[in-house]
Structure 1
Amino acid sequence: MSTDVRAYRPGWRSMTTLVGCEARMVIRDTAGLIVPFALPLMILLTSGSAGGTVIRHGRTAFDLYVLPLVLVIILSLIGILNMPSFLAYYRRSGILRRMAVTPASPAMVLGAQVVVSIIQAALGIGFALAVAFLLMGANPPVHVATALGVTVLAALAMYGVGMVVAAVAPTPNSAVAISLLVFFTLAALGGMFGGMQALPDPVAQIGALLPFGAAVEAIAAAWAGTPVQLSHWVTLSVTTVLGAVVAGVLFRWE
């Protein structure tokens, strides 16, 4: 008489528990919790008086240049810097090794971090927009739905990049080092230091094809009420999918 033994597969309850654990770890990390809020706030406050010129559809330079940049910085800090450091810490401390002998999969671990990061990003963006609208006189995007869609896709793209770093970085220090290198490279090419218009044309063209620059320009287009370029949609979508696939393949438990 044969007995059919089925392997246990974690369900949504297990995933919810894992997300709760990740959220508690993020809350305990003071620096990782504050920096994505504090740095964008500083940029908002220092740039508010320099962008009152109306550019298009009643939207000012502050609306079209400062706000998109701030939103993308928030997404990048959380997705590229915060998330990899947590997973690298888990790997170094042996938590991932112990999880490897459970029914949990790399996708569940990475997915839980992405969910928590998205919640943190939503709070950071909400805080930044509240400051911009209430204190800086910012205007809402002309195409609200497009701006929301682009922001969500930009978040996923940044998490795609961060997941690759998290999958391969062996230690927390190496994760921070790699993340900083990736972040500042993408940010510099994406116009964080002076805007895309300050870059040489060939460099600006490369930056616009990378996720940071594509996200900034796509959000700015939605804010101004102009069509988002197809290349920006493609860049953010490809980065999201490619990051998830590569991270899943390269993920190491120890």
Structure 2
Amino acid sequence: MSALTTATAPVTAKRGSITWKLIKAESRLCLRDKVGPIWGVGCPLLVLIILGSIPALRERQEAAGGLTIFDLYVPVLILFNLAILAMTALPTTLAGYRENGVLRRMRTTPIGPVRLLAAQLVANFAIALVAMLLFLAVAGFGFGVQLPRHLFGFTVAWLLGAAALLAIGLLVTALVPGRNAASATGTALFFPMMFFAGLWVPITQMPPLLQTISHYTPLGAGMQAFQDAYLGHFPSAVPLLTLAAYAAGCALVAVRWFRWE
């Protein structure tokens, strides 16, 4: 038993080391790409600063539970970041890998394509986490926006939102043939999803039918959960279950139909 343990320990350590190196390499590639850093982080951060500089948007709204319009836009822009990374950056990168034969060649190496996918997911998740903390810090220190009153509830909602959107991004990658198709599909999904998150019209100002539809979209459910946390409540079950359903369902379909070449 001790000999077997001694033999397998270096192999396990080597695999762990390879995985960590792969994660670092994919993270560097994500940072060099223009989509994630510029459109996923820089663009919503700039919008956040512009909106925070408008005094009228920082007036309390009774219809929003005492929150300001700017308070509502902070979580919307956090969702914007998640959506850009999941709908555009992740699918185009992975579809490009498949189109260029990278995934096919990885299947013949000890690393394997699954580990490459995991590294891409970790890299995008890390960028989203840093962006979320950055947005909250700028909104708080720059414009006096308080942190969500229910931090644990906000954390749960963000984790489920990230899982749901990354799973949708994997599903897009699994079903589309190449990089251009992945970019077009992700863009086509991004704009209606952001509409139902309240980017252009706050959800509370939408007609009743659109509000109902919004609550069952991934970003609409995420926004509802975020707003609950900002108001000091743990998010209700419906938006959390909606996000969990998207995460589990899309991930299962993506794994089942994913094409490596």
Tell me if TM exceeds 0.5. Answer: yes
Q: Which amino acid aligns with 1:232?
A: P
Instruction: For residues 206-226 of structure 1, give each alpha carbon's deviation from its aligned partner in whole angstroms, at most 9, with x where no partner exists.
Output: 111111000011011101113
Partner of 1:28: 32
Instruction: For residues 46-78 of structure 1, give each alpha carbon's deviation from its aligned partner in whole angstroms, at most 9, with x where no partner exists.
Output: 322213216578753422x11111111111111
Q: Aligned runs of 1:57-72 on 2, under 5 Å?
A: 59-63=67-71, 65-72=72-79
Q: Which amino acid aligns with 2:245?
A: V
Partner of 1:204: 211
Gaps of 5+ in 1: 1-7
Cα distance in structure 1, aligned partners of 2:214 and 2:198 = 8
Is the counterpart of residue 44 in structure 1 residue 51 in structure 2?
no
Cα distance in structure 2, aligned partners of 1:93 and 1:235 = 35
Cα distance in structure 2, aligned partners of 1:27 and 1:41 = 16
Q: Aligned runs of 1:128-207 on 2, under 5 Å?
A: 128-207=135-214
2:82, 2:128 within 8 Å by CA — same for their partners in 1? yes
Partner of 2:8: none
Q: CA RMSD in A?
A: 2.2
State the TM-score, normalizing by the size of structure 2.
0.87
Partner of 1:3: none
What is the deviation of 1:11? 3.8
Q: 1:244 aligns with which of 219, 235, 251?
A: 251
What is the deviation of 1:82? 0.8
* Matched position secondary structure for 2:121: helix
Partner of 2:119: 112
1:190, 1:204 within 8 Å by CA — same for their partners in 2? no
What is the deviation of 1:45? 2.3
What is the deviation of 1:105? 4.9
Q: Aligned runs of 1:221-240 on 2, under 5 Å?
A: 221-240=228-247
More helix by percentage:
2
Cα distance in structure 2, aligned partners of 1:38 and 1:24 = 17
Q: Which amino acid aligns with 2:241?
A: V
Q: Which runs of 4+ in 1 moved over 6 A?
A: none
What is the deviation of 1:139? 0.7
Gaps of 5+ in 2: 1-10
Cα distance in structure 2, aligned partners of 1:165 and 1:227 = 31
Instruction: For residues 169-203 of structure 1, give each alpha carbon's deviation from its aligned partner in whole angstroms, at most 9, with x where no partner exists.
Output: 22211111000111112112232211112322112
Q: Which amino acid aligns with 1:88?
A: A
Cα distance in structure 2, aligned partners of 1:171 and 1:211 = 25
What is the deviation of 1:129? 1.5
Cα distance in structure 2, aligned partners of 1:211 and 1:26 = 24
Cα distance in structure 2, aligned partners of 1:247 and 1:16 = 24
Shift of the 205–172 alpha-carbon distance from structure 1 to 2, 3 Å rule, reads same
What is the deviation of 1:107? 3.8
Q: Aligned runs of 1:66-85 on 2, under 5 Å?
A: 66-85=73-92
Instruction: For residues 114-167 of structure 1, give each alpha carbon's deviation from its aligned partner in whole angstroms, at most 9, with x where no partner exists.
Output: 100111011211221221112111111111111111111111111011110112
* Matched position secondary structure for 2:183: helix
Shift of the 45–24 alpha-carbon distance from structure 1 to 2, 3 Å rule, reads closer
1:106, 1:248 within 8 Å by CA — same for their partners in 2? no
Cα distance in structure 2, aligned partners of 1:171 and 1:74 = 23
Cα distance in structure 2, aligned partners of 1:110 and 1:217 = 30
2:215, 2:239 within 8 Å by CA — same for their partners in 1? yes
2:83, 2:190 within 8 Å by CA — same for their partners in 1? yes
Instruction: For residues 91-121 of structure 1, give each alpha carbon's deviation from its aligned partner in whole angstroms, at most 9, with x where no partner exists.
Output: 1111111012234555433221110011101
Is the counterpart of residue 124 in structure 1 residue 131 in structure 2?
yes
